[in-house]
Chains A and B, each alone.
Chain A
Amino acid sequence: MSNLAQNNIMKLNYKVLVALLMTLGLTGCFNFTTRVERDLYTITERDTITYIEQKNAPGNRDNGVIFPSSRTIESYRDMQQRDSLVQHDYPDFIRLSIFESVGTIGGNNNYSTGSGLFGIFPNYQKLSSSNRGDSSSLFTGGIYRVGSGEWRLRWFRDAKDWTLGTSIFEGIFPDARVENSLVSIFPLYVKKRWYITDKIPYLSVTASVGVGWYPSQYLNLSGSLDLGSMGGLNLRAYLGVAAGVNTKNSYMVRQSPIGTDATTVFAPYAGLGISFLDFHNSVPETYIEWKDHPHSSWDVGILQLSFLYSGTDSSALSSGSGKTLFNGVMIKALNTNISLPFANNNFYFGASLFNLVALGKNEWALGILPLRVGYWVTLLPDELSLDPYIETSFYPSAMYNFAARLNLRLSKFLNGGLIIGYLVSSTNYSLGRDLTDSFGNPGSFSRFYLGFSVGIGDRIFYPENIRYNK
Chain B
Amino acid sequence: MNKYKYKIYLQALAMLTVLSSCAFLPSPDEFVLDKRTNSPIECRILSTIDSVEQINDSEVLISNGGICAMKREDLTQSHFMCNINVSAGSGIRFYFRSDPIKYRQDGGIVYEFNERGSFVFENGGHVQTVDSIRLQRNFPIQLQFKQDGSKYLILADCDTVYQGTTTVAATEFIIIKPISSNVTLTRVHLDHIFEYDKFNVQSKSDKEQLLEKLRNN
A contact set with B: CB distance below 8 Å: 39-44, 46, 77, 79, 81, 83-84, 151, 153-155, 157-158, 164, 166, 186, 188, 211, 213-214, 217, 247, 249
Once A155-B25, A158-B29, A214-B12 are accepted as A-B contacts, the answer to whether A39 and B172 lie under 8 Å apart by CB is yes
Given contacts A40-B172, A153-B22, A213-B15, 13 further A-B contacts (CB under 8 A): A39-B173, A42-B149, A42-B171, A43-B169, A46-B150, A83-B76, A84-B169, A154-B27, A154-B29, A155-B25, A164-B23, A188-B18, A213-B14
Once A42-B77, A77-B202, A77-B203 are accepted as A-B contacts, the answer to whether A154 and B28 lie under 8 Å apart by CB is yes
- What's the nearest-Cβ distance from chain B to residue A26, in Å? 10
Once A79-B149, A164-B22, A217-B11 are accepted as A-B contacts, the answer to whether A44 and B170 lie under 8 Å apart by CB is yes
Q: In the bound complex, how far is the Cα of B169 from the Cα of A211, in angstroms?
A: 51
Q: Does B131 contact A (CB under 8 A)?
A: no
Most buried by A among B14, B18, B169: B169
- What's the nearest-Cβ distance from chain A to residue B7, in Å? 8
Contact residues on B (Cβ < 8 Å of other chain), bracket: 20 to 34
Q: Does B115 contact A (CB under 8 A)?
A: no
Check A44–B149 contact: CB distance below 8 A: yes
Among A40, A153, A213, contact of B74 (Cβ-Cβ < 8 Å): A40
CB-nearest residue of chain A to B10? A213
CB-nearest residue of chain A to B77? A42
Check B28–A158 contact: CB distance below 8 A: yes
Q: In the bound complex, how far is the Cα of B94 from the Cα of A87, in angstroms?
A: 24
Task: Give the residues in chain B near A247, CB-CB below 8 Å.
Answer: 4
Give B73-88 interface residues, CB cut-off 8 Å to A.
74, 76-77
Q: In the bound complex, how far is the Cα of B28 from the Cα of A79, in angstroms?
A: 42
Q: Does B19 contact A (CB under 8 A)?
A: yes
Task: Give the residues in chain A near B77, CB-CB below 8 Å.
Answer: 42
Q: Does B212 contact A (CB under 8 A)?
A: no
Task: Give the residues in chain B near A41, CB-CB below 8 Å.
Answer: 76, 169-171
Check B49–A157 contact: CB distance below 8 A: yes
Check B4–A249 contact: CB distance below 8 A: yes
Task: Give the residues in chain B near A40, CB-CB below 8 Å.
Answer: 74, 76, 171-172
Once A40-B74, A247-B4 are accepted as A-B contacts, the answer to whether A186 and B169 lie under 8 Å apart by CB is no
Q: Does B99 contact A (CB under 8 A)?
A: yes
A interface, by DSSP: helix, strand, loop or mixed?
strand
Task: Give the residues in chain A near B99, CB-CB below 8 Å.
Answer: 39
Among B1, B25, B76, contact of A154 (Cβ-Cβ < 8 Å): B25
Q: Does B130 contact A (CB under 8 A)?
A: no
Give B143-197 interface residues, CB cut-off 8 Å to A.
149-150, 169-173
Number of A-B residue pairs at CB separation under 8 A: 69
CB-nearest residue of chain A to B78? A42
Check A157–B202 contact: CB distance below 8 A: no
- What's the nearest-Cβ distance from chain B to residue A119, in Å? 26
* Per-position 1/0 for B23-52, Cβ under 8 A of A: 101011100000000000000000001100
CB-nearest residue of chain A to B50? A157
Subset of 27 A-B contacts with CB under 8 Å: A39-B171, A39-B172, A40-B172, A41-B171, A42-B77, A42-B169, A44-B169, A44-B170, A46-B149, A77-B202, A79-B149, A79-B200, A83-B76, A153-B25, A154-B28, A155-B25, A157-B50, A158-B28, A166-B19, A188-B15, A188-B18, A213-B14, A213-B15, A214-B11, A247-B4, A249-B1, A249-B4
Check A186–B15 contact: CB distance below 8 A: yes
Q: In the bound complex, how far is the Cα of B25 from the Cα of A157, in angstroms?
A: 12
- What's the nearest-Cβ distance from chain A to residue B15, in Å? 5
Q: Does B8 contact A (CB under 8 A)?
A: yes
Task: Give the residues in chain A near B173, CB-CB below 8 Å.
Answer: 39
* Per-position 1/0 for B193-209, Cβ under 8 A of A: 00000001011000000
- What's the nearest-Cβ distance from chain A to residue B6, in Å? 12
Task: Give the residues in chain B near A211, CB-CB below 8 Å.
Answer: 15
Check A42–B12 contact: CB distance below 8 A: no
Q: In the bound complex, how far is the Cα of B51 from the Cα of A158, in angstroms?
A: 13
Task: Give the residues in chain A near B202, CB-CB below 8 Å.
Answer: 77, 79
Task: Give the residues in chain A near B8, CB-CB below 8 Å.
Answer: 214
- What's the nearest-Cβ distance from chain B to residue A247, in Å? 7
Shortest beta-carbon contacts, A-B, top 3: A42-B76, A44-B149, A41-B169
Task: Give the residues in chain B near A42, CB-CB below 8 Å.
Answer: 76-77, 149, 169-171
Task: Give the residues in chain B near A213, CB-CB below 8 Å.
Answer: 11-12, 14-15
